[in-house]
């Protein structure tokens, strides 16, 4: 039976009778509270053979190493054969015209660059479970409809965005098209639920909105647009990095639950 190990950095799902971990969930400081750590226990840890039986807390020990890749692949290949298309939003919308999306001027960081990093993290997470992941690079002047059409033949299409408003609002939301299907709603609901479990920010819920990029996706392919948080309200670079990392993990988990469940 697997076991859990909690350190100051993360909660680890440890391989049975081993000091190597199978999966991990990062601990993060709660918003506005530096002396409190939060860590979410991924639901999928309770689905497989390696259900955790014991929690060991050792805040001073070194972080464990992952199990070998070959072992890891055997332990969870739940997404074998699944194809996922990720669309990090904004970028070069036509030759020479570069759209940064939402901007945090104080930190000099843009939505375009952050969601591109987020896409790489989601891709790595899903590929570790056997999925094929395609990232639609937004540097080729494609129209929103053309970007959406890249979802053809895949099992789901996820457009990645960050919000901005008045430098104060914060929260996550997942959007589906105004005439989105029940499948779109289920996918959006699962991703939003994971964001709610893993990010300590307001849950703005699942919403319907007319969205050109989602309209371009063939109707048979579940498609959602994720607004993980408001980039303009983030106060420091470390928090922004953490929000990107944690939201990427949450989105990957939501996708996995949708495709496996």
Residue ranges in contact with Zn ion by CB under 5 A: 89, 101, 161
Q: Are 111 and 164 in contact (CB under 8 A)?
A: yes
C-beta of 21 vs 230, nearer to Zn ion = 230
Containing H/E element for 243?
helix 237-260
Q: Is 10 helix (H, G, I), strand (E, B) or coil?
A: strand
Half-sphere exposure of 223 (CA within 13 A, CB side): 31
> Nearest Cα to 206, choosing from 186, 222, 236?
186
Q: Is 177 helix (H, G, I), strand (E, B) or coil?
A: coil
Strand pairing class (132-135; 91-94): unpaired
C-beta of 15 vs 161, nearer to Zn ion = 161
Place of tokens 């303009």: 232
Task: Count the residues in the chain.
Answer: 261
End-to-end CA distance of the chain: 23
> Nearest Cα to 125, choosing from 161, 82, 159, 162?
82
Q: In angstroms, give the least distance from the CB of 153 to Zn ion.
A: 25
What number of other Cβ atoms are within 10 A of residue 143's Cβ?
13
Q: In angstroms, give the least distance from the CB of 89 to Zn ion.
A: 4
Q: In angstroms, give the least distance from the CB of 91 to Zn ion.
A: 10
Q: In angstroms, give the least distance from the CB of 232 to Zn ion.
A: 12
Cα-Cα-Cα-Cα dihedral of 45, 43, 84, 86, to 10°? -120
C-beta of 45 vs 230, nearer to Zn ion = 230
DSSP tag of 141: -
Half-sphere exposure of 60 (CA within 13 A, CB side): 0
Q: In angstroms, give the least distance from the CB of 3 to Zn ion.
A: 41
Q: In angstroms, give the least distance from the CB of 225 to Zn ion.
A: 8
C-beta of 213 vs 255, nearer to Zn ion = 213
C-beta of 142 vs 161, nearer to Zn ion = 161
C-beta of 109 vs 161, nearer to Zn ion = 161
Q: In angstroms, give the least distance from the CB of 160 to Zn ion.
A: 8
Which residue of this chain has its Cβ atom nearest to Zn ion in the complex? 161
C-beta of 22 vs 158, nearer to Zn ion = 158
């Amino acid at each position: 039976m697997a076991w859990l190990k909690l350190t100051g950095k993360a909660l680890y799902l440890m391989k049975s009778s081993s000091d190597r971990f199978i999966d991990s969930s990062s601990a993060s400081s709660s918003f506005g509270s530096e002396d409190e750590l939060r860590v979410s226990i991924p639901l999928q840890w309770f689905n497989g053979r390696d259900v955790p039986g014991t929690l060991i807390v050792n805040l001073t020990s070194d972080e464990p190493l992952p199990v070998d890749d070959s072992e890891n692949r055997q332990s969870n290949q739940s997404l074998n054969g699944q194809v996922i298309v990720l669309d990090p939003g904004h970028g070069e919308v036509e030759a020479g015209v570069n759209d940064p999306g939402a901007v945090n001027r104080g930190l000099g960081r843009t939505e375009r660059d952050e969601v591109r990093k987020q896409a790489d993290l989601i891709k790595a997470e899903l590929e570790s479970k056997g999925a094929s992941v395609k990232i639609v690079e937004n540097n080729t002047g494609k129209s929103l409809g053309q970007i959406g059409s890249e979802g053809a033949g895949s099992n789901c299409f996820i457009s990645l965005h960050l919000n901005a408003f008045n430098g104060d609002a914060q929260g996550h939301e997942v959007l589906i098209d105004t005439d989105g299907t029940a499948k779109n709603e289920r996918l959006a609901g699962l991703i939003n639920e994971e964001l709610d479990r893993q990010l300590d920010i307001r849950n703005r819920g699942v919403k319907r909105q007319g969205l050109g990029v989602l309209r371009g996706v063939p109707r048979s392919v579940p498609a959602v647009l994720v607004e993980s948080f408001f980039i303009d309200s983030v106060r420091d670079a470390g928090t922004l990095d953490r929000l990107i990392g944690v939201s990427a993990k949450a989105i990957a988990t939501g996708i996995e639950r949708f495709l496996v469940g």
